[in-house]
Structure 1
Amino acid sequence: MDWRGFAQRMASLARDLLAQESVDATLERITSAATELVEGCDESGILILNGGTVRSLAPTGQLVVESDHLQERLGEGPCFDAARTTTGERTYRIADFTQTQPRWPAYAPQAHELGVGSMMGFLLYTEDEELGALDLYSRKPGAFTENSETAGWMLASHAAVALAGARTHAQMDQAIATRHTIGEAMGILMSSRRLTENQAFDVLRRYSQDHNIKLREVARRVCETGHV
């Protein structure tokens, strides 16, 4: 493998990831990059595990979606484990799904029926949070080599940082939008009810607490209807 050329492409990818305008765009660039940069990779996706529920993000093909749903239904699978990190492992490489896989006795034969020949999984994490697993699939057994695993690990490391950054920016944008909506709702109440700023905020807060509705949703309703 031309590691010098790979390093140059990774540097270009890092800039590209930071330039994406949304979390979804960042995810899609990550999974498409896996099929471009990792030798043997036919399809890729990101699996997010919340309790026992799986979210399949930015899949490059239907094979990824079907595999994720299969892992959710069975409660087992290599990328299911990578996202869950119950064993402390952060990388998985399964060379041949035509052979018995004792670790995933239910998933492996059904995955092979879906068309999975070999696969790898990498935990997407930063120092502060774990985000899920980057899944790489090949329809051929034995498609992934040691070089493939190294390349996949490097991609996952870059992707985790970019994804964490994209999420932080998205959260900041949402916080700004929420603050603007609340301020607009307070202005409406202050004008229509002749309230002070503190009194208007208390109206929103009490309604939110009494009806178990998020404050931003209460504010949005006031902006749309003129009243709580």
Structure 2
Amino acid sequence: MDGGVPWAGRASEAVVTLDWQRYAEQMALLARDLLAQDSVQATLDEIAASAVKLVEGCDAAGVLTVSKGRAVTLSVCGDMVEESDRLQGELGEGPCFDAARRVDGERLFRIADMTEPQPSWPRFSRAARDLGIGSMTGVLLYTAEEDFGALNLYSRRPGAFGKDIEAAGWLLASHAAVALATARTVDQLEHALETRHAVGEAMGILMERHRLSEDEAFDVLRRISQHHNIKLRDVARHVRADHPEQA
């Protein structure tokens, strides 16, 4: 991304023609595979693994987000990813770091040849060459409601990612973002149901032991939560743990 331009090192790009019919079939299978995962983390791991499996020339992939100015690795597939993420967070520069924290403008980057100078990230590019990274591309994972970070693809070979591969990565990231949003919603709903169940059991214990009404029992839990700055769910779990015979 030389001088803010999302593509860098154009002279050494590879010309790769995808079999789009086959890739479309793979995307359909991927969509089903992602929705079949049983957690947000499993979905993230499948996204990274699928990028390596499906995108031509991709030797490693990962999902990176930036939280409170710090780089956080959410998922990796390949040994160079974690070290690359660590370096970008440590140096405070790098294409994945920039893509993950971007909230508007260009949502994709491509470095065609990491062996060429990269003025936007001089320290990271030197370290990346030492890691054996030849080229990189990445795209933001987002929906209309939220951003999840960046899906980043790595190749040991310079010029591995041309425009066709860039489009393939974009399609994969679009499927991935929708699956992540769904997984997070399901996770939140399951979490809410677990909380409701725990609170209901804790209220029952308080009502029986202290002869409280339903409203009074809930008020006790709420006041403890507020006074000690503890989540209501955790207060309920403490009550249940103290009276396991009634839980």
Q: TM-score range by the shorter chain?
A: over 0.9
Aligned to 1:36: 53
CA offsets 1:23-45 (integer angstroms, 9 cap, x no match): 11111111111011111100001
8 A Cα contact 2:64 2:75, kept in partner: no
**CA RMSD of superposed structures (Å):** 1.3
- The TM-score normalised by the length of structure 2 is 0.89
Q: Does 1:182 align with 2:195?
A: no
5 Å-filtered alignment, 1:12-31, equals: 12-31=29-48
Residues 87 and 161 of structure 1: is their aligned pair in 2 closer, same or farther, counting only changes over 3 Å?
Answer: closer
Dislocated runs of 4+, deviation >6 Å: none
Structure 2 CA distance, aligned partners of 1:14 and 1:210? 45
Q: Report the residue type matching 2:239 in the other structure.
A: V
Query: Deviation at 1:147?
Result: 1.0
Instruction: Map 1:79-118 onto structure 2 (within 5 A).
Output: 79-85=96-102, 88-118=105-135
Q: Equivalent residues in 2 for 1:27-176 (5 A)?
A: 27-85=44-102, 88-176=105-193
Identify the structure with bigger relative contact order (alpha carbons < 8 Å, sequence gap 6+). 2
CA distance in 1, matches of 2:198, 2:88: 40
Structure 1 residues 86, 169: CA separation in 2 closer, same or farther (over 3 Å shift)? closer
Q: Which residue of 1 aligns with 2:10?
A: none
Write the letter of the residue equivalent to 1:225: D
Secondary structure of 2:130's aligned partner = helix
Number of residue pairs matched by the alignment: 227
Task: Give the secondary structure class of the aligned counterpart of 1:54.
Answer: strand
SS in 2 for 1:44: strand
Unpaired runs of at least 5, structure 2: 1-17
Please give the secondary structure, in 2, of the residue aligned with 1:58. strand
Query: In structure 2, what is the Cα distance between the partners aligned to 1:19 and 1:226?
Result: 37
> Could you give the per-residue CA deviations for residues 31-75 of structure 1, whole angstroms, max 9, x where no partner exists?
111011111100001001112122212201221111111111111
Inter-partner Cα distance in structure 2 for 1:71 and 1:59:
15
- Residues 190-218 of structure 1: per-residue CA shift (max 9 Å, x gap): 11111111111111111111111111111
Q: CA deviation at 1:11?
A: 0.8
Q: What CA deviation, in whole Å up to 9, does each residue of 1:119-164 have, x standing for no partner?
A: 1110000011111000101111111111110100000000000011
> Which of 14, 27, 30 in structure 2 is aligned with 1:10?
27
Q: Which residue of 1 aligns with 2:15?
A: none
CA drift at 1:16: 1.2
Q: Secondary structure at the match of 2:120?
A: coil
**Structure 1 alignment gaps of length 5 or more:** none
Deviating more after overlay: 62-71 vs 50-59: 50-59
